[in-house]
Chains A and B, each alone.
Chain A
């Protein structure tokens, strides 16, 4: 399953609403997860099952989708949100495929 993520990078300001899109070459149902990664750190699970917020993750993060197109939305960008975000489909088991990432930079 191919998983282009768009954009590859974006610039935004604190307080902005940011949208990152992940498209899959075939339907993955709702088996789509989102991760945040900061430089030198391991990825952190934000959203699983397309829209379920992982425990401890702020509610400004949300996920939605429609089988082949998925969106991660950050409502009210905070300074700690500047990072790289990855999607991962887990429809194609065992553990699916990761997208190439979207870097959110400070404008």
Chain B
């Protein structure tokens, strides 16, 4: 059974870069049409999709965050990394990775989620 797990620092200083990893176990996205997505949730902004990436490297970004976000895939280690640059307090949130299909009736539906990791931006 596929399992996703987010990891990374829980505290990041303003103006620095937030780096998180989504580790996939019990299977892989390789050879499937699924994408790995990052979503964040904060009291002020609710749920916000950040970006999605296929193991082929094709990726999509939320236009409001695109200039600050980089996604990468390490297929050998079965993990996806997120980098968000120049963070501010507004980037404080719980960050989730999730599996998403981009076709059919379930297009855009996040059907499998990691437990999430809280990232606080503060000096």
Alpha-carbon gap, A98 to B96, bound state (A):
14
Contact B111 A42 (CB under 8 A): no
Given that A49-B106, A98-B47 are contacting pairs, would A42 and B114 also be in contact in the complex, using a CB cutoff of 8 Å? yes
> Which secondary structure characterizes the binding site on chain A?
loop
Chain A: interface size category: 20 to 34
Contact A94 B60 (CB under 8 A): yes
Contact partner of B47 (CB less than 8 A), chosen from A86, A90, A94, is A86
Chain B residue, CB-CB nearest to A89? B108
Q: Is B81 close to A, CB under 8 A?
A: no
> Which secondary structure characterizes the binding site on chain B?
strand
Contact partner of B52 (CB less than 8 A), chosen from A30, A35, A44, A95, is A95
Alpha-carbon gap, A86 to B46, bound state (A):
10
Chain B residue, CB-CB nearest to A86? B47
Q: Is A43 close to B, CB under 8 A?
A: yes
| Chain A residues with CB below 8 A from B62, complex form | 94-95
Contact A48 B52 (CB under 8 A): no
| Chain A residues with CB below 8 A from B52, complex form | 94-95
Contact partner of A96 (CB less than 8 A), chosen from B49, B105, B113, B115, is B49
Given that A94-B52, A95-B52 are contacting pairs, would A44 and B113 also be in contact in the complex, using a CB cutoff of 8 Å? yes
Alpha-carbon gap, A6 to B105, bound state (A):
24
User: Beta-carbon contacts of A50-64 to B below 8 Å, as 1s and 0s?
Assistant: 001010000000000
23 pairs from A and B in contact (CB 8 Å cutoff)? A31-B107, A33-B106, A33-B108, A42-B98, A42-B114, A42-B116, A43-B110, A45-B109, A45-B110, A45-B111, A49-B104, A49-B109, A54-B111, A90-B108, A94-B52, A94-B61, A94-B62, A94-B102, A96-B49, A96-B108, A99-B46, A100-B46, A101-B47
Closest 5 CB pairs of A and B: A90-B108, A49-B105, A94-B60, A42-B113, A98-B47
